[in-house]
Amino acid sequence: MTYDAALAGKRVLVTGGSRGIGAATASALVAAGARVIACHRGSPASLSYELVTADVTREPDVAALADTCAERLGGLDVLVNNAGVDGVRPVDKLDPGQWHEIMDANLTSAYLVTRQALGLMSGGASVVNLSASVALRGRPASAHYTASKAALIGLTRSLARELGPRGIRVNAVAPGVIDAAGPGEGPPPHLRERLAGMTALGRLGTADEVAAAVLFLAGDQSRYITGSTLNVDGGM
């Protein structure tokens, strides 16, 4: 079974879908025949899929987003919780506001969107959460980011147990350092070579490679996989 056969006609919501991994995932889903709505906190752009404006850290925005999916798609078969932000700050200089900002963007958003999306899902549906490889190994000066992504893996495992009896699978993808194509995305040029040298494959990953992992977990090819985290980190 190909990705196209596994995902054709699926109704999908991708959060944080205007650039980087989110845009690569949404575009790959469209190419596989899925019907896709993506959201982003900024203004909608011209893309190959429908992009709506929503701040997924705010309950009213998330409720309106669910209404949009119900109206335009008639339900959901796949949810990809990709929205999130990175953060680097030593813990002794990290104030509570910065801590909560990262937690809201990376963890609370996934909880809020999943809670609303479940009303549109039935047996056979799939949720894929975008965590990060640092959740499994830590990273200096990133306690807030690492904790948020580790908690997302915990949320994934718990929801897999809770929703399994309803036939809904929940998995996570944990990307390593990704050489995203968008301006201002990915590591700065002076760090690329050093970071690439930390991987077993000797290079950085691409957004398309992460998207391929998301599509695998989203579709019926992985129908006996739930509660798992798939590392896409080149062997860091």
- pLDDT given at position 61: 98
Number of domains comprising the chain: 1
As averages over each run of 10 residues, the pLDDT of the chain (236 residues) reads: 80 96 97 97 72 96 98 99 95 96 98 99 99 95 96 99 99 94 66 91 96 98 98 96
- pLDDT given at position 182: 56
85: tokens are 């932000």
Closest CA to 234 of 210, 204, 208: 204
- pLDDT given at position 5: 80
Amino acid in position 194: R
For residues 96-129, b (16+ Cβ closer than 10 Å) or e, as one string?
A: eeebebbbbbbbbbbbbbbebbbebbeeebbbbb
- pLDDT given at position 44: 55
- pLDDT given at position 183: 54
pTM value is 0.95
The active-site residue, picked from 3, 49, 111, 145, is: 145
* Pairwise CA distance, residues 24 & 211, whole Å: 6
* Pairwise CA distance, residues 56 & 19, whole Å: 16
Give me the domain span that covers residue 45: 3-232
Helix, strand counts (H, E) of the chain: 9, 7
- pLDDT given at position 6: 86
Which CATH number goes with the domain that contains 169?
3.40.50.720
- pLDDT given at position 2: 62
156-163: long-range pairs with CB below 8 Å, 24+: 156/127, 156/129, 156/131, 156/227, 156/229, 157/227, 159/114, 159/127, 160/226, 160/227, 161/227, 163/118, 163/127
* 145: annotated active-site residue: yes
Distance of CA 76 to the CA centre of its chain: 16
Q: Is residue 19 helix, strand or coil? A: coil
